[in-house]
Structure 1
């Protein structure tokens, strides 16, 4: 009788993030690249976790510089200089990064992300929304736009409209943020790998790669012990 080889244990990578956070946009791409570079990439499951950076943000969209100045002070010139620095980093890494973005409350978006998570498509949905947002091709505050993205990744657009018209998943959004804080998050991006290692901030691809290797090795050890 031929003994079947035990498949490698799956590793869950949780990422606390918010839509308009530029460093979250970079971190998501870097984490995805680090996973794709591995020969066992399919054993890693990325789960999106909700973390509103500014729960008091208004629902009505405003420009990103207006939102920043209202929340943090300073001048538009200083803010845009910082934006251009991040834009340069993003473009060096092959990412489009428009400066012409809107900002608004993201709680409703996170509720839809929770629905996507429940269907096993949270990372795909959030990635599509955030990528479209930063390249300037998507208004994430428009229900029809979110429904369209949902359908493009295999979700139901009708469910998105129903969720946005209700209070579904609100408790889950709040619970995610509270859990992130308990694990040590003071902001985002915040990545937790296999509930063993936490990585705050936008780490470089090699750093994520080292952490993935670390947790993969530990997961393999635990499965054979």
Structure 2
């Protein structure tokens, strides 16, 4: 017997990502475009999962060039040339991309993102912070900035301050990273569709669309 409830049930898409990862920023928007182009777009639920690209980064913000020099040495022009290439790509897709951005440890941000997810606004919070960060509008390593954006998406400013000033959700952040590594993640973005298919890196809109077709088709076949 054909069960229509199964063919319309939510499909969860998990995206392991980090705040300051340019490809996570681009990939997130490409994935959303692929979803939005579908007549069943409201069936998909994106859930951001935590993965720190540089867990040893200092808490005090530094420039991208300084971060590269500290981690790799050599000539900072290398990283800026790479940044300019990604900026050109992002701008072709209609995404703002500021070269002058801060870099710092993202562990506290991920902890707040877990609180946001628990409160039902995880994607909204993560996306708004990341989008404004890459647009060059905010310093996301400033607690007051996180509080302001949390308030904009309906979260408790008091709770955000409590989370930042404590170690709440630290285990959840670490658990995400451990699960990611168990799945074979070596970099982000890493996207898992309904625990059936996976895509590493920022795929094209068309590639994401093909995976969505596969997920839906696979789900429909199981429902028959």
TM-score under structure 1 normalisation? 0.95
Q: Deviations over 1:48-105 (max 9, x none)?
A: 0000011110000000111012112231222111111110000000000000000000
User: How many matched pairs?
Assistant: 221
Measure the CA separation in 1 of the matches of 2:96 and 2:44.
Answer: 26
| Structure 1 alignment gaps of length 5 or more | none
Tell which deviates more after alignment, 196-205 or 69-78: 69-78
Runs of 4+ displaced beyond 2 Å: 4-7
Task: Quote the residue 2:62 is aligned against.
Answer: 62
Task: Quote the residue 2:112 is aligned against.
Answer: 112
Task: Quote the residue 2:211 is aligned against.
Answer: 211
Q: Deviations over 1:182-204 (max 9, x none)?
A: 11211101000000111000100
Task: Quote the residue 1:146 is aligned against.
Answer: 146
| Structure 2 alignment gaps of length 5 or more | none
Task: Quote the residue 1:23 is aligned against.
Answer: 23
Task: Quote the residue 1:174 is aligned against.
Answer: 174
Task: Quote the residue 1:83 is aligned against.
Answer: 83
Q: 2:114 is paired with a residue of what secondary structure? A: helix
Contact 1:115 1:169 in 2 (8 A): yes
Q: Does 1:157 align with 2:157?
A: yes
Measure the CA separation in 1 of the matches of 2:81 and 2:88.
Answer: 11
How well do the aligned residues superpose, as a CA RMSD in angstroms?
1.2
Task: Quote the residue 1:132 is aligned against.
Answer: 132
TM-score under structure 2 normalisation? 0.96
Measure the CA separation in 2 of the matches of 1:55 and 1:78.
Answer: 22
Tell which deviates more after alignment, 213-222 or 17-26: 213-222
Going from structure 1 to structure 2, the CA distance change for 1:5 and 1:23 (only over 3 Å counts) comes to closer
Task: Quote the residue 1:73 is aligned against.
Answer: 73
Q: 2:198 is paired with a residue of what secondary structure? A: strand
User: How many angstroms does 1:5 deviate by?
Assistant: 5.3
